Structure 1
């Protein structure tokens, strides 16, 4: 894998991100976040208007950002970053300067491509670490989501402890720039 200004080039194609447009992208996002495979996104019963409102709120929030991920130029995943000192994890751990919270969602697809989700999370982390101010990425997946925990560990995340969030019991995990580079071979 190699990174370029255009994104991450892999054997599966080129991955990149673009700004999310809450008004134009709401219909697409609705189909993703309400899909049964997106149960951990907790928007199963959302209407298209609910999704549009949620992403308009994110667009207006200085501490929370959403980007649309692309595979060979086609929307294929959603990524969100947040400042854990102000969103999601406030009061649940002691944030350090340079911490960036992250969520990602791979679009439901017909035939899965082996290694696709790993390429997505690698793209997400490479994008975050492209910012020299980002020191460590913080995630808090549901403790029952073993698949994403395995994927997180494959790209360098280290589980720290379980935490209780209002909506779930989560596994707090961290990944530094160095851990990411060592796990993936991607230099950022």
Structure 2
């Protein structure tokens, strides 16, 4: 069973290591210096940012990271996404990674995504859906989202996380059950 705990500043060395792994760096493209990780994750860890960073744990051991937010809390990103697909009020967004290369290809990504989506409904009673844009070339991410129950709803151009990628993205979505 996957359990969760919020990222704290004590986790920054782990995040630095994960973000430096080639399989993560290819898609996340983060500054892995102590200053860069502090800049990118510190405000959220301290509650100064409206997003949440969660470590996914299996048998008490961290294996992945999920970032979750209300899309309305980030108007520029929401507006860009709305040019590609419908973004209803109450829409949530997630981003995710599996930290160690040895943990990839085992189904943990789809399990982690599914677990966070299932957690989102009670955590955010007004959440209408979860929307996830993915760089078009990230086929492993597509498969994880599909196995987690999300459906592709759009394709379009968005600003890439990694400048080596073009703007082409695919967008996945899952609606709150019963909607």
Taking structure 1 as the reference length, the TM-score comes to: 0.77
In structure 2, the gaps of 5 or more residues are 161-166
| Separation (CA, whole Å) in 1 of partners of 2:66 and 2:146 | 18
Matched with 2:15 is 29
Q: 1:126 to 1:27 in 2, by over 3 A?
A: same
Aligned residues: 163
Note the 1:17-166 alignment, pairs <5 A: 17-21=4-8, 23-38=9-24, 39-43=26-30, 45-59=31-45, 60-62=48-50, 64-87=51-74, 89-92=77-80, 93=82, 94-110=86-102, 114-131=106-123, 132-166=125-159
Higher RCO (CA 8 Å, separation ≥ 6 residues): 2
In structure 1, the gaps of 5 or more residues are 1-13, 180-188
Q: 1:89 to 1:173 in 2, by over 3 A?
A: farther
| Separation (CA, whole Å) in 1 of partners of 2:98 and 2:59 | 14
Higher normalized helix content (fraction of residues): 2
Taking structure 2 as the reference length, the TM-score comes to: 0.81
